Structure 1
Amino acid sequence: MYSGAVLSLFTQYQTLEYLDLSYNQLRGKIPDEIGEMVALQVLELAHNQLSGEIPSSLGQLRNLGVFDASHNRLQGQIPESFSNLSFLVQIDLSYNELTGPIPQRGQLSTLPATQYANNPGLCGVPLPECRNGNNQAATSSDLDGGKRRRKPAAVSWANSIVLGILISIASICILIVWAIAMRARRREAEEVKMLNRLQAVHAATTWKIEKEKEPLSINVATFQRQLRKLKFSTLIEATNGFSAASLIGCGGFGEVFKATLKDGSSVAIKKLIRLSCQGDREFMAEMETLGKIKHRNLVPLLGYCMIGEERLLVYEFMEYGSLEEMLHGRAKARDRRILTWEERKKIARGAAKGLCFLHHNCIPHIIHRDMKSSNVLLDHEMEARVSDFGMARLISALDTHLSVSTLAGTPGYVPPEYYQSFRCTVRGDVYSFGVVLLELLTGKRPTDKEDFGDTNLVGWVKMKVREQKHMEVIDPEILLVTKGTDEAEAEEVKEMMRYLEITLQCVDDFPSKRPSMLQVVAMLRELMPGSANGSSNSA
């Protein structure tokens, strides 16, 4: 429950379309900056302790359809700027201390009187006429002595007609609002029934809605204009109720589903594990920050959605899946694609650039904490994209370490020093990235008892190098797809040995001896055609 003057904290989220802070203990004035949240469609502030005047800047919210500030202590007049809210279909200002006339232009005068009730000083259609207007009418009639007796009767007759018309209009408006509300309730009920039906059919889904009143038509907060109208109910339909058939991945942070939208495009939906310790404000702040992080070699966050205790993240869909699946997951598939040496170098460079951007270009810097081949995704051009970086904590620019109390990372990728300090560092990320490089070079998993016994991939490679058996480390499949002259093959083998040297630097047991990701990117660039060590000149 929010309390105090915290409403201003939400004004920085200018992409929000739905803000419900009702039934809290908010105090103070409604900040003028809310008028800058131009994407808002629903603003719920009912049952708080807000005071002061309604800021006229709210009239700038051209997309606002619902505004509920009832049961507060608001004073002053309803801003004339509210006449500009052409999409407004519901407003509730009842049980406040508002005064003055209701603006007659726009939608306000067409709404039911109950939505302005219990504001003793409020007047004007659909409420009774303002007294000042009545006094002026009386004064004018007194000045015309010749018509003093006839005019009151005429005014009374005209007022009766106007009152009858207003009552009819108000009744029609009430019926329209009631019909809209009933239609919305039926739609939400149908969506819940659809979800429950899908859950019954697909027992493997972990999705659960505990309350039918949850707004399934809530908009998804998005960072892409083309997804601006994406709704939660659309995600349910596009994933067939988050069924097992739509499940494409599962990790420590949650499950990932493929969602095919009505326009034929696809997105990936990550349904996070429940984080009871993280509040709405912290989650929204982190998502707004991550939504601004853009790089060619990072999987972009397109949007997010909060409903009940569930948290959904919307990502760009990667056509070729993960590097782990490409290397290890299709051993028995007939259409399995064997990565060439050039493709493996390209993937290594791309993943290095993505991790380097997180370490050196983001303020504050970001430690990945779980760098592994399943978090390196491949787009339609086989370009590497680092994923799950948003699940890591943002570290302070003044603090180069992040203390954690539980084991972070995946076995086989965790640096040896972590087991002593339980600290996540950028050098630890470099070690994990080195393991990914070894997977590309050897084609082996980080942990496999059949291959390594009691050790792991890093220990096995170091042993082979000590025994001067470097070629036994190379994935035989690389040599199978190598095409060219013997001289070209020999040149590739030299590159692989240089690649192995870079990798061994990354997985050094001593963190201080490992290179930074900037240095790793520079060293891998030397393996590109056209570099100082290359044999041709190409981009």
Structure 2
Amino acid sequence: MFEQPLLKITLVDILEATNNFCKTNIIGDGGFGTVYKATLPGVKTVAVKKLSQAKTQGNREFIAEMETLGKVKHQNLVPLLGYCSFGEEKLLVYEYMVNGSLDLWLRNQSRALDVLDWPKRFKIAIGAARGLAFLHHGFTPHIIHRDIKASNILLDEDFEPKVADFGLARLISACETHVSTDIAGTFGYIPPEYGQSGRSTTRGDVYSFGVILLELVTGKEPTGPDFKEVEGGNLVGWVFQKIKKDQAADVLDPTALSADSKQMMLQVLQIAAVCLSDNPAKRPTMLKVLKFLKGIKDE
């Protein structure tokens, strides 16, 4: 019950810990800013996110928002440990995740990592759904993530997934009159309705989560050269074409496919398809999605 209060860290500590924001310490780069690996005195290794300067609000609002976000705690969310606000600089300190992002493991370009087997992928699907359901339903005010993607699902040493960057969209939109496109999601994960309304909803997050389920099942990226010559033009389009032709099994990632996993992979594919409905009202809530996924496990 004894919650650790957020650490208020000095800029001097952070400069020292990141070696003056040395490029060699960069472990991630996103729409909200750059992430550095750092070791703070007396604290284990952490991840420091340096927010893009143009996008942050005034000091008081920032601190209030940080204190709120610091209270959002769940086993499937990346813990916010502290922050630093100094002049224009706004920095967030998160727990460091040893296994990096889901994106890293699925792309595995260097072939340096083991192949993610199906049990691990399924564990990641359920854990990420649990974290997202908590943001949507377990916390008041509800938090819409707005940038759910494979690089925002981080993995600890046991491959337990933790959703990162939650609350940052709100932190930034509070100080921008319009939400610029680079914030409201990442290409390949953006639901079709965002083009018309530009308004973010929990159902938009559900769509993006559907794309992640497709990535786990197919092993493919949401967009990219794979789909240049292919019907559908991207991962979602290609998968729907295959389902329509009764060729759903053709999309399953051969590196994770086995006699044991095939049935489960096809069921997860079905759940993804419901999440990816063009009509937001037809998409399930994240609590429903979590229930569907647990239902597979219990069979």
For normalisation by structure 1, the TM-score amounts to 0.51
Q: Quick check: 1:406–1:422 contact (8 Å CA) kept in 2? A: no
**What whole-Å deviation, never above 9, does each CA across 1:486-536 have from its counterpart, x for those lacking one?**
xxx2x42111111111010000111111100000000000122xx1x1xxx
The reply to whether residue 527 of structure 1 matches residue 293 of structure 2 is no
Mapped to 1, the partners of 2:94 and 2:12 lie a distance apart of 17
How far does residue 368 in structure 1 lie from its aligned partner after superposition?
Answer: 0.4
Aligned to 1:258: 37
Higher relative contact order (CA 8 A, sep 6+): 2
Q: 1:497 aligns with which of 246, 266, 275?
A: 266
Matched residue of 1:315: which SS? strand
Mapped to 1, the partners of 2:169 and 2:214 lie a distance apart of 23
The change in CA–CA distance for 1:503 and 1:277 in structure 2 (over 3 A counts) is closer
How far does residue 451 in structure 1 lie from its aligned partner after superposition?
Answer: 2.8
**What whole-Å deviation, never above 9, does each CA across 1:50-109 have from its counterpart, x for those lacking one?**
xxxxxxxxxxxxxxxxxxxxxxxxxxxxxxxxxxxxxxxxxxxxxxxxxxxxxxxxxxxx
The change in CA–CA distance for 1:357 and 1:265 in structure 2 (over 3 A counts) is same
Aligned to 2:180: 406
Which aligned pairs between 1:243-322 and structure 2 lie closer than 5 A? 243-263=22-42, 265-275=44-54, 278-322=57-101
Which aligned pairs between 1:86-105 and structure 2 lie closer than 5 A? none
Q: Quick check: 1:452–1:460 contact (8 Å CA) kept in 2? A: no
Mapped to 2, the partners of 1:436 and 1:423 lie a distance apart of 21
The reply to whether residue 450 of structure 1 matches residue 201 of structure 2 is no
Q: Quick check: 1:404–1:422 contact (8 Å CA) kept in 2? A: no
Aligned to 1:363: 140
**Which region of structure 1 is more displaced relative to structure 2, 285-294 or 446-455?**
446-455
How far does residue 317 in structure 1 lie from its aligned partner after superposition?
Answer: 0.2
The reply to whether residue 340 of structure 1 matches residue 117 of structure 2 is yes
Matched residue of 1:476: which SS? coil
Q: 1:460 aligns with which of 238, 246, 268?
A: 238
Matched residue of 1:462: which SS? helix
Aligned to 1:429: 205
Which aligned pairs between 1:70-109 and structure 2 lie closer than 5 A? none
Aligned to 2:152: 375
How far does residue 336 in structure 1 lie from its aligned partner after superposition?
Answer: 1.5
Mapped to 2, the partners of 1:374 and 1:284 lie a distance apart of 26
Q: Quick check: 2:80–2:93 contact (8 Å CA) kept in 1? A: yes
Q: Any gaps of 5 or more consecutive residues in structure 2?
A: 172-176
The change in CA–CA distance for 1:229 and 1:409 in structure 2 (over 3 A counts) is closer
How far does residue 224 in structure 1 lie from its aligned partner after superposition?
Answer: 3.7
Matched residue of 1:423: which SS? coil
Matched residue of 2:191: which SS? coil
**What whole-Å deviation, never above 9, does each CA across 1:311-350 have from its counterpart, x for those lacking one?**
000000000000001111x2223x3211111100000000
How far does residue 392 in structure 1 lie from its aligned partner after superposition?
Answer: 2.2
Aligned to 1:513: 282
The reply to whether residue 331 of structure 1 matches residue 100 of structure 2 is no
Mapped to 2, the partners of 1:411 and 1:240 lie a distance apart of 33
| Amino acid paired to 1:347 | I
Matched residue of 2:170: which SS? coil
Runs of 4+ in 1 over 6 A off after TM superposition: none
How far does residue 231 in structure 1 lie from its aligned partner after superposition?
Answer: 3.5
Q: Quick check: 2:82–2:92 contact (8 Å CA) kept in 1? A: yes
Q: Which structure has the greater CA radius of gyration?
A: 1
Aligned to 1:62: none
Mapped to 2, the partners of 1:422 and 1:359 lie a distance apart of 19
**What whole-Å deviation, never above 9, does each CA across 1:117-166 have from its counterpart, x for those lacking one?**
xxxxxxxxxxxxxxxxxxxxxxxxxxxxxxxxxxxxxxxxxxxxxxxxxx
The change in CA–CA distance for 1:265 and 1:405 in structure 2 (over 3 A counts) is closer
Aligned to 2:247: 469
The change in CA–CA distance for 1:447 and 1:237 in structure 2 (over 3 A counts) is same
Q: Quick check: 2:221–2:235 contact (8 Å CA) kept in 1? A: yes
Mapped to 2, the partners of 1:252 and 1:311 lie a distance apart of 15
Q: Any gaps of 5 or more consecutive residues in structure 1?
A: 1-222, 395-402, 483-488, 534-539
| Amino acid paired to 2:128 | A
| Amino acid paired to 1:478 | A
How far does residue 405 in structure 1 lie from its aligned partner after superposition?
Answer: 4.3
**What whole-Å deviation, never above 9, does each CA across 1:171-225 have from its counterpart, x for those lacking one?**
xxxxxxxxxxxxxxxxxxxxxxxxxxxxxxxxxxxxxxxxxxxxxxxxxxxx846
Aligned to 2:18: 239
| Amino acid paired to 1:507 | L
| Amino acid paired to 1:434 | G
Q: Quick check: 1:324–1:373 contact (8 Å CA) kept in 2? A: yes
How many residues are treated as equivalent by the alignment?
288
Mapped to 1, the partners of 2:114 and 2:242 lie a distance apart of 27
Mapped to 1, the partners of 2:83 and 2:39 lie a distance apart of 17
Mapped to 1, the partners of 2:96 and 2:74 lie a distance apart of 15
| Amino acid paired to 2:255 | E
Matched residue of 1:288: which SS? helix
How far does residue 276 in structure 1 lie from its aligned partner after superposition?
Answer: 5.8
Mapped to 2, the partners of 1:276 and 1:477 lie a distance apart of 41
The change in CA–CA distance for 1:229 and 1:416 in structure 2 (over 3 A counts) is closer
Matched residue of 2:130: which SS? helix
Mapped to 1, the partners of 2:169 and 2:236 lie a distance apart of 24
The change in CA–CA distance for 1:404 and 1:523 in structure 2 (over 3 A counts) is farther
The change in CA–CA distance for 1:458 and 1:338 in structure 2 (over 3 A counts) is same
